[in-house]
Amino acid sequence: MTQFINFSDLPQAEPEALALSQCLLDKIKTNIIRNGGVIGFDAYLRQALYEPGLGYYSAGQRKFGEAGDFVTAPEISPIFSRCLARQCQPILAQLVHSVIMELGAGTGIMAAEILLELQSLKQLPDAYWILEVSADLKERQQTFLKERVPFFFDKIQWLEQLPDSSYDGIILGNEIVDALPFKRFHKQDNTIFELGVSIVNGQLSWQQNEAAGKLLTGVSALEESLHTNIPNGFTSEINIELSAWLESIASKLNNGVMLLFDYGYPAKDYYHPQRYTGTLQCYYRHHVHDDPFYMPGLQDITASVDFTCLAEATHNIDLRVAGFTTQSSFLIANGLDDIINTLDNSNSKQQSINAQAIRTLTMPGEMGERIKVMALTRNCNVPLQGFTSMDQRARL
């Protein structure tokens, strides 16, 4: 649940960071004025997260780990990436020429641990591609991976855009879909309103206008698929560009598997009446709140993933939903217990660190059930052991 906090209690940003945030804020305000005084929340997110040199994912601020704003599963323990590598191994074994493409590699630690585990399994891919929008993160990844996996470094390629040529392999996305721009809406008096962004007294503010176009069509289609009307007073999010994003990401994949890990729910849970304020969350220095206008460019802004929408997006692009489960179930099915037995437990401190990491990755109240895993395949019939113990496709 979102934490309601006193912003004066948050860690203070450095002067250089504040200057970057102010520059980004000025650009956002200019965009709002240029567009008649209001922009969609998705347009705001494109700038707040991806504005070149200024957006959260495009600038040079630390994002991951204790010095950043949040921690992802690969940062917590090598266990996550090693289990993921074991899922990759049988897929790679069936491909003559194989590529792993990671969407946004963070610090590079997931790539490193996957390659180290695949090396031990004698199943390295022919190449490892990293699609990275941040020049700063790319530089950090290169430094880290050159030191961590020197035996494979010359086969790692960084991409600024999707590849032009087709390939066979695996696409990996860990907490990527929740960072895609989305729209917000509110229903009142049986009318759908779009929650856009305007300027009030010099500050960014929500503005409510009656929904039209793709948003209205999308919410209407959502109500039809849910076989119920969204109740009055309900506020939530919808990603109306998700199908186009998925099609572009998978467009050059001839044979292979896409594995996506993210916080989210099936549609009937996502839009349940009890979740009437939506799933919008913002992360700043490990504090969680719900104000997306706080220091744009210096905080992450996300919403949970509607996995039903993601599954439905496969229908017209020759992808098959081959599995849907929880992170905990996926890790257990991919040899979690065996990997735990190989961990360094030589002293009580390390034992405690390992135990806490396992709890965070697998417990229901932590990442274990909150993060879901979806497998999408194209021309690939390799059994996916990560979904053998529990497959929840029927919930979609």
Give the pLDDT confidence of 109-141 residue by residue, as tens digits: 999 999 999 999 999 999 999 999 888 899 999
Single pTM value for the model: 0.94
Pairing of strands 183-188, 191-200: antiparallel
State how far the Cα of 339 lies from the Cα of 86, in Å rounded to an integer.
Answer: 10
Please report, rounded to a whole number, the percentage of residues in the chain having pLDDT higher than 90: 88
The pLDDT value given to residue 60: 61
Q: What is the pLDDT of the chain when averaged over all its residues?
A: 94
β-pair partners for 320: 377
The average pLDDT across 92-97 equals 96
Task: Say if residue 366's pLDDT is above 70.
Answer: yes
The pLDDT value given to residue 69: 61
Task: Say if residue 217's pLDDT is above 70.
Answer: yes
The average pLDDT across 72-86 equals 96
The pLDDT value given to residue 72: 93
The average pLDDT across 274-292 equals 93
Angle at CA 339, nearest 5°, toward 120 and 391? 105
Q: Which two tokens stand for residue 217?
A: 């069509």
* pLDDT tier for residue 10 given thresholds of 50, 70 and 90: confident
Which among 1-5, 83-87, 379-383 has the top mean pLDDT?
A: 83-87
Tally of CA atoms within 13 A in the half-sphere of 381 that contains its CB = 0
Q: What are phi and psi of 314, to 5 degrees?
A: -80, -15
Task: Say if residue 6's pLDDT is above 80.
Answer: no
Please report, rounded to a whole number, the percentage of residues in the chain having pLDDT higher than 70: 96
Q: Which two tokens stand for residue 55?
A: 């957006």
The pLDDT value given to residue 1: 42
- For the chain, give every domain's residue range: 73-179+244-266+306-395
User: 251: how many CB neighbours lie within 10 A of its CB?
Assistant: 11
The pLDDT value given to residue 2: 47
* pLDDT tier for residue 62 given thresholds of 50, 70 and 90: low
User: 108: how many CB neighbours lie within 10 A of its CB?
Assistant: 25
The average pLDDT across 239-252 equals 96
CA distances from 241 to 123, 248, 372 (A): 36, 11, 20
Task: Say if residue 68's pLDDT is above 70.
Answer: no
Task: Say if residue 64's pLDDT is above 90.
Answer: no
The average pLDDT across 275-300 equals 94
Nearest CA among 113, 58, 71, 60 for reference residue 366:
71
3-state secondary structure the chain: CCCCCCHHHCCCCCHHHHHHHHHHHHHHHHHHHHCCCCECHHHHHHHHHHCCCCCCCCCCCCCECCCCCECCHHHHCHHHHHHHHHHHHHHHHCCCCCEEEEECCCCCHHHHHHHHHHHHCCCCCCEEEEECCCHHHHHHHHHHHHHHCCCCHHHEEEECCCCCCCEEEEEEEECCHHHCCCEEEEEECCEEEEEEEEEECCEEEEEEEECCHHHHHHHHHHHHHHCCCCCCCCEEEECCCHHHHHHHHHCCEEEEEEEEEEEEECHHHHCCCCCCCCCCEEEECCEEECCCCCCCCCCEEECCEEHHHHHHCCCCCCCEEEEEEEHHHHHHHCCHHHHHCCCCCCCHHHHHHHHHHHHHHHCCCCHHHHEEEEEEEECCCCCCHHHCCCCCHHHC
The average pLDDT across 78-98 equals 97
The average pLDDT across 268-291 equals 94
Task: Say if residue 65's pLDDT is above 60.
Answer: no
The average pLDDT across 283-311 equals 94
Task: Say if residue 175's pLDDT is above 80.
Answer: yes
State how far the Cα of 370 lies from the Cα of 363, in Å rounded to an integer.
Answer: 9
The pLDDT value given to residue 344: 85
The CATH number of the structural domain formed by 73-179+244-266+306-395 is: 3.40.50.12710
Tally of CA atoms within 13 A in the half-sphere of 351 that contains its CB = 4
Task: Say if residue 308's pLDDT is above 50.
Answer: yes
Task: Say if residue 288's pLDDT is above 80.
Answer: yes
The pLDDT value given to residue 58: 86
Task: Say if residue 61's pLDDT is above 80.
Answer: no
Pairing of strands 235-238, 191-200: unpaired
Angle at CA 303, nearest 5°, toward 264 and 230? 80
The average pLDDT across 208-229 equals 97
* pLDDT tier for residue 4 given thresholds of 50, 70 and 90: low
Are residues 309 and 357 in contact, defined by beta-carbon separation less than 8 angstroms? no
The pLDDT value given to residue 345: 86
Are residues 211 and 194 in contact, defined by beta-carbon separation less than 8 angstroms? yes
